[in-house]
Amino acid sequence: MRLRLLVPVFILFLCHLTSCQKPDEEFSEVSKIALRDVGNKLLLSNQDSTSLILPITKIERNKYQLQFQHDLAIEPDTLVSIVKNSFAKANLPDNYRIEVVQCLDHEIAYSYEIKNLEENSIVPCNGRNLPSNCYRIQVRFVETQNPNSIEYVSIVAIAFIGFGFLYRFKKSKIGGDEKDGSFFKIGDYEFYPEQNKLVYDKNEINLSKKECELLEILNENLNEVVKRDELTKRIWEDHGVFVGRSLDTYVSKLRKKFEKDASIKITNVHSVGYKLEVS
């Protein structure tokens, strides 16, 4: 399979894992469901099974508002218990702040804060009930991490690693057009390292052992400079005597063998090394 076909397949697989949905959107949906559950239980605690819970609104990031059709009385300890249970069932964060706001003057009639360390939570006025009135209940999640964030971050990390691998694979295989593991595509040429040859338009071009080794190294580092010292060490060390101009001579021979494709260049970076470029 060609590499360019692997990339969309990888993207589709990633979308399947994440349902192509951002964590913030899912967190918002779950929060609204949990708050509607809170509203229903508060109404039932008021022996009200008929009045409506108005649409849950997101008033800013990580802050939501619950509203009711009619007035209701609120017992702080009941409110604390209901919210805790509903949020726990929805697997929402246990760091949040609740405010009971009076509809007419927007004054805060009651508020409390829950933290994951219970001893740090602030829950005042238990037992002091709020009389029947028009109230809006607002919740702000102090800790913004949502329950799916760890999984999502892990998937994103895997995605970056995967794309990095594909990019490196593509670069090392020169365009990712390796067919069966026996050759690599370099522009309009096919490079067969095991057979020491190039093929252009069905015509074979033989490579010497040194030419083949040199091309393999440059091919592994497409569009990157390979230092002269690295090339000479890897090609000539332990393989005989190295003459000062040997590297330049073999580069010149390779250039001539690629002369039929103007998109291929072996560039000399002065005093540094050589770079194989395919445009």
**Which residues make Cβ contacts (< 8 Å) with residue 160, sequence separation at least 6?**
none
What predicted TM-score, i.e. pTM, was given to this entire model? 0.46
What is the spatial distance between Cα 275 and Cα 272, in angstroms, rounded to a whole number? 10
**Residue 177 token pair:** 């057009």
Instruction: Give the Cα separation of 30 and 93 in Å (integer).
Output: 11
Beta bridge partners of 225: 275
Length of the chain: 279
**Whole-number pLDDT of residue 235:** 86
Q: Give me the pLDDT at residue 175, please.
A: 42
Checking DSSP bridges between strand 225-227 and strand 273-278, what pairing results, if any? antiparallel
Listed in sequence order, the residues at least 6 apart from 76 whose beta carbon sits closer than 8 Å to its beta carbon are 110, 112, 123, 125, 126, 127, 128, 129, 130
Q: How far apart are CA 207 and CA 212, in angstroms?
A: 6
Largest Cα–Cα separation, the chain? 98
If phi > 0 it is left, if psi is from -120 to 50 it is alpha, else beta; for residue 153 that is alpha
Q: Six-digit token pair at 259?
A: 């002369």
Cβ atoms of 103 and 136 within 8 Å: the answer is yes
Residues of the chain with confidence (pLDDT) below 50: 1-5, 19-21, 144-147, 149, 171-180
DSSP 163-227: HHHHHHHHHHTTTT--SSSS-EEETTEEEETTTTEEEETTEEEE--HHHHHHHHHHHHTTTSEEE
Q: What is the DSSP letter of 125?
A: -
Q: Which CATH architecture has domain 179-278?
A: Orthogonal Bundle (1.10)
- The answer to whether 66 touches 38, Cβ cutoff 8 Å, is yes
Q: In the prediction, which pLDDT does 121 show?
A: 81
Spans of all domains in the chain: 1-172, 179-278
Distance separating alpha carbons of residues 247 and 146, to the nearest angstrom: 58
| pLDDT at res. 146 | 47
Question: How far are the Cα atoms of 29, 216, 232 from residue 209, in angstroms, in the given order?
Answer: 64, 11, 14
Please report where in the chains the tokens 């108005």 appear, as a residue. Answer: 54
Residue with tokens 């819970």, as numbered in its chain: 53
Q: Which two tokens stand for residue 212?
A: 């083949």
Q: Which helix (H) or strand (E) holds 269?
A: strand 264-269
Q: Are 225 and 274 in contact (CB under 8 A)?
A: yes
